Amino acid sequence: MIRLRGLTDKTLKSYCTYIRAFLQFMEFELQKEPSDADYEDLRHFIQWIQSARGLADRTVNVAISQLRFFHMYVLHKPWDPTQLPLRKFNTYLPYVPSQDEVMAFISSIPDLKVKAMVSLLYGSGLRIGEVCALRYEDIERRNMRVHISHSKSRSDRYAILSKSSLDILTQYWFDYGKPRGFLFPKQSGEDRPIDTFYLSRHIHQHEEKLGWPRRITCHTFRHAFGTHLYENGVDLLEIKELMGHKSLTSTVIYIHTAATSSKRALSPLDRMGGPDNV
């Protein structure tokens, strides 16, 4: 059913996580067929899996969504969201390093492949999966742009290509055998893209080498790209298009993470001259 809906293999793998746990729970804990589960059983499962795995509320919502899919599209049973409501959860602003910190991080990376990949994360605002899936022909040097095919929003787009990224990428390309298929092929030599955990591991290792707290992930550089564009005066709508967001709601977060956003407004207390003048 997942494939019939045209969802990705990554979605298939994700959905199997909690649906498989649900099937095992029904078999071994309740000794019931999945089709015989009522909402009380479903609530029991959610409480059980949250306790057993220490799931956050946001992750519990993922499990509930997967149960909903299973009941509607596999068991063909109606779904009442009032019987198993989604959890409310706290939202947090992502960590965003300053422009100087980003440059210090990238410039000190000794491995040229890692340096080229991180420069694309930040210089073009790409997702880690998009960087790993890049092919040689996706780098349009003449137009200084990067072609992103089948992105998270299921649509192609163009991202900007930084001149600094292109310089690093060109050096990498010559030093690493001039790859003509995937730009960052799997290390085993197969015609497959490199695994995402390769870059994640190297980023954390470089953080440790610099003596920095472990706060940076691959997605940190994408957040930094959007935040720093906003700090430099780029319009939110343009940032939305460059990052491939479906909704402006996803882009608005960079108003809050930008260091300049709080400096533009003057407190009304200061405008009146302070408490001594009130």
Query: How confident is the model over 121-168, as pLDDT tens digits?
Result: 999 999 999 999 999 999 999 999 999 987 666 679 999 999 999 999
Contact between 102 and 95 (Cβ < 8 Å): no
Residue type, 97: P
Higher pLDDT among residues 79 and 10, named by residue: 79
Reduced to 3 states (helix: H, G, I; strand: E, B; else coil), residue 144 is: coil
Tokens of residue 148, six digits: 């992103």
pTM of the complete model: 0.85
Residue 271 pLDDT greater than 80, yes or no: no
Residue 274 pLDDT greater than 70, yes or no: no
Residue 262 pLDDT greater than 60, yes or no: no
The two beta strands, 145-148 and 139-140, are antiparallel
β-bridge partners, 250: none
Show me where the domains of the chain are located: 9-74, 99-262
Tokens of residue 146, six digits: 């990067």
Contact between 157 and 244 (Cβ < 8 Å): yes
| Fold held by 99-262 | hpI Integrase; Chain A (1.10.443)
Per-residue pLDDT tens for 56-110? 999 999 999 999 999 999 999 999 999 999 999 888 899 999 999 999 999 999 9
What's the CA gap between 80 and 100, in Å, rounded? 51
Among 24-38, 87-101, 259-273, name the one with the lowest average pLDDT.
259-273
Q: What are the residues whose beta carbons fall under 8 Å from the beta carbon of 245, sequence distance 6 or more? A: 153, 251
